[in-house]
C-alpha cells in the first residue's frame, strides 16, 4: 500500500543501496515537491553531505 511512511522507507532503501554499492565519496539528496519530505527523512536518518528540498511541503500529511 502506498503511504507517506512507505515512500520514505523506500527512499531510505535506495539511499542505503547507493551508499553501500556505488558511492564512496559525498552524497547529496534532492527532493522536489512531495520528494522533499523523503529527502528530509533520509537526511535526518543518515549522514548525508547536503540536502536540497525544492518547492516542497512541510508535511506529506498536510498535503493530503
Model confidence pLDDT, tens digit, residues 1-59: 888 889 999 999 999 999 888 767 888 999 998 888 899 999 999 989 999 988 877 66
Q: Is residue 36 part of a domain?
A: yes
Which pLDDT does position 64 carry in this prediction?
A: 55
Against a cut of 0.85, is the pTM above it? no
Q: What is residue 7's predicted lDDT score, i.e. its pLDDT?
A: 92
Q: What is the pLDDT of residue 56?
A: 79
How many independent structural domains does the chain possess? Answer: 1
Q: What is the domain range of residue 46? A: 4-16+31-63
What pLDDT is stored for residue 22 in this prediction?
79
C-alpha cell at 40: 528530509
Contact 44, 24 (CB under 8 A): no
> Phi and psi (nearest 5°) for 58?
-70, -30
Residue 45 domain-assigned? Answer: yes
pLDDT at residue 61 in the model = 66
Phi, psi of 52 (to 5 degrees): -130, 110
Amino acid at each position: 500500500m502506498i503511504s507517506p511512511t512507505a515512500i520514505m522507507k523506500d527512499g531510505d532503501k535506495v539511499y542505503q543501496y547507493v551508499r553501500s554499492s556505488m558511492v564512496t565519496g559525498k552524497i547529496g539528496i534532492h527532493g522536489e515537491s512531495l520528494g522533499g519530505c523523503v529527502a528530509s527523512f533520509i537526511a535526518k536518518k543518515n549522514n548525508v553531505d547536503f540536502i536540497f528540498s525544492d518547492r516542497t511541503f512541510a508535511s506529506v500529511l498536510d498535503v493530503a
